[in-house]
């Protein structure tokens, strides 16, 4: 499914930290909302027919949206999930957010969720244990059953039939204390008949961590994927579950934003003998493993695709707008997550907006 531009912008543009702790999410463009577009009417095909109109329109709309994003029109009340197994469908059922408290000695946990976005935030977490107690996450795909799936996910899908599986994820640690990690996760089944779901492998991709946490298993090497360096960990058999392999890729330098292709991680795991082409990819998940604390960890937005490609579009603009007018861009924060275009000057301004427009709709 190709998202309508304004629908995606609502997920990310107006989520300043000051608003995250009062249960409200500012939405500037809800009055212009158009639901998800049909696949055959995606922005690239429209652009191919109306290039000249689109280029002029794009600059005007981008400037308007950046300026308007500074003064939200109203606030949307969050849905709060506090039950251990509470879930909420978002984006018309294409994704689902899970509170997912499953540990043996958990504390209380609540998350704020917004049905018209993929944003969610941990608003209460008083876990105080020695092992992981919860994994609040957003799901695309199936959860422990082929009959419990989000809409139009393209999963389960046979590993050998995956050509590309890109995902984009933006997070904010918000100064969260305790022991936790920010990690993407996918599960794999050996068959597609539901007889033993997720029995193949658990694959994790760690973006950030705190409190001395580390992946399970043993370090087996370092690999470069998606422009980043990753430490690879592996464990088999898995003592806490009935799946065959646990694989974790922990980034060497923590980041808050990634645009990656899961296919590259699957290929690396396959080359090590951990995932087989005959198995099935069941889902895409993105969330936080919580052992102690973790309050205010925030997933600002998430999107994943199967056998489709992202182009430079309004999803990217949502991230760009979130960095607008920053003046603290350095190499340490990846030049404001890439919004400060080369030659970097430490600021995100109209020079960077023009560079962004130059790449509009490019793959």
pLDDT attached to residue 332: 76
The residue with tokens 């995100």 is 348
Distance between alpha carbon 337 and the CA centroid of its chain, in Å? 15
Q: From start to end of 58-210, where are the E strands?
A: 74-77, 79-81, 87-90, 95-98, 109-113, 120-125, 137-141, 157-158, 166-172, 178-189, 201-210
Q: What are the boundaries of each domain within the chain?
A: 84-304, 328-363
- CB-based contact 222:179 (threshold 8 Å): no
- CB-based contact 109:125 (threshold 8 Å): yes
User: What count of other Cβ atoms lies within 10 Å of the Cβ of residue 82?
Assistant: 13
Left if phi > 0, otherwise alpha if psi is -120 to 50, otherwise beta: which for 65? alpha
3-state secondary structure of 3: coil
- Residue 275 has which token pair? 């995932």
What is the model's pTM?
0.74
Angle at Cα 302 formed by Cα 172 and Cα 211, nearest 5°? 35
pLDDT attached to residue 63: 60
| Strand partners for 250 | 206, 231
Task: Encode burial over 173-189: b for 16+ CB neighbours within 10 A, e otherwise.
Answer: beebebbbbbbbbbbbb
3-state secondary structure of 324: coil
First-residue to last-residue Cα distance in the chain: 17
- Residue 187 has which token pair? 């599960």
% of residues, the chain, pLDDT over 70: 77
Give the integer Cα–Cα distance in Å for 37 and 107.
Answer: 41
Q: Which sign, positive or negative, has the C-alpha torsion 114, 184, 122, 17? A: negative
- Residue 288 phi, psi dihedral angles, 5° rounding: -130, 120
- CB-based contact 129:155 (threshold 8 Å): no
Cβ partners under 8 Å of residue 74, min gap 6: 26, 27, 30
Give the integer Cα–Cα distance in Å for 363 and 348.
Answer: 22
From first to last of its 363 residues, what are the pLDDT tens digits of the chain? 333 333 333 344 334 333 333 334 433 333 222 223 333 333 333 333 343 444 455 555 666 655 555 444 345 689 999 999 999 999 999 999 999 999 999 999 999 999 999 999 999 999 999 999 999 999 999 998 888 999 999 999 999 999 999 999 999 999 999 999 999 999 999 999 888 889 999 999 999 999 999 999 999 999 999 999 999 999 999 999 989 999 999 999 999 999 999 999 999 999 999 999 999 999 999 999 999 999 999 999 999 999 998 777 766 777 788 788 999 998 877 788 788 888 889 999 988 888 788 767 666
CATH architecture of 84-304: Sandwich (2.60)
pLDDT attached to residue 348: 92
Cβ partners under 8 Å of residue 141, min gap 6: 149, 150, 153, 155, 156, 281, 282, 283, 284, 285
Give the integer Cα–Cα distance in Å for 34 and 20.
Answer: 25
CA-closest candidate to residue 142, choices 132, 152, 133, 134: 152
């Amino acid at each position: 499914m190709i998202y309508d531009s304004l629908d995606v912008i609502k997920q990310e543009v107006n989520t300043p930290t000051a608003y995250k702790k009062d249960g409200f999410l500012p939405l500037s463009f809800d009055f212009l909302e158009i639901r998800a577009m049909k696949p055959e009417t995606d922005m690239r095909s429209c652009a191919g027919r109306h290039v000249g109109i689109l280029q002029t329109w794009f600059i005007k709309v981008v400037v308007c949206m950046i300026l308007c994003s500074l003064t939200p029109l109203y606030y949307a009340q969050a849905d709060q999930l506090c039950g251990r197994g509470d879930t909420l469908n978002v984006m018309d059922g294409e994704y689902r957010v899970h509170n997912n408290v499953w540990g043996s000695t958990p504390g209380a946990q609540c998350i704020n969720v917004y049905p018209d976005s993929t944003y969610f935030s941990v608003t209460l977490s008083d876990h105080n244990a020695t092992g992981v107690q919860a994994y609040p996450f957003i799901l695309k795909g199936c959860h422990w059953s082929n009959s419990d799936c989000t809409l139009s996910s393209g999963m389960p899908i046979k590993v050998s039939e995956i050509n590309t599986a890109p995902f984009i994820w933006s997070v904010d640690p918000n100064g969260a204390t305790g022991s936790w990690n920010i990690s993407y996760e996918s599960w794999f089944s050996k068959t597609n008949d539901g007889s033993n779901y997720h029995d193949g492998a658990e694959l994790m991709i760690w973006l950030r961590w705190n409190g001395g946490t580390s992946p399970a298993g043993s370090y087996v090497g370092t690999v470069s994927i998606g422009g980043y360096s990753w430490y690879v960990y592996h464990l088999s058999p898995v003592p806490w579950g009935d799946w065959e392999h646990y694989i974790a890729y922990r980034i060497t330098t923590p980041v808050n934003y990634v645009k990656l292709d899961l296919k590259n991680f699957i290929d690396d795991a396959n080359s090590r003998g951990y995932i087989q082409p005959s198995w099935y990819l069941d889902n895409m998940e993105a969330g936080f493993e919580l052992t102690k604390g973790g309050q205010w960890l925030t997933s600002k937005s998430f999107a994943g695709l199967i056998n489709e490609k992202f182009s430079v579009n309004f999803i990217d603009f949502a991230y760009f707008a979130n960095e607008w007018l920053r003046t603290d861009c350095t190499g340490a924060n990846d030049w404001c997550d890439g919004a400060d275009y080369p030659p970097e000057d430490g600021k995100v301004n109209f020079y960077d907006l023009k560079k962004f427009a130059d790449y509009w709709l490019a793959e």
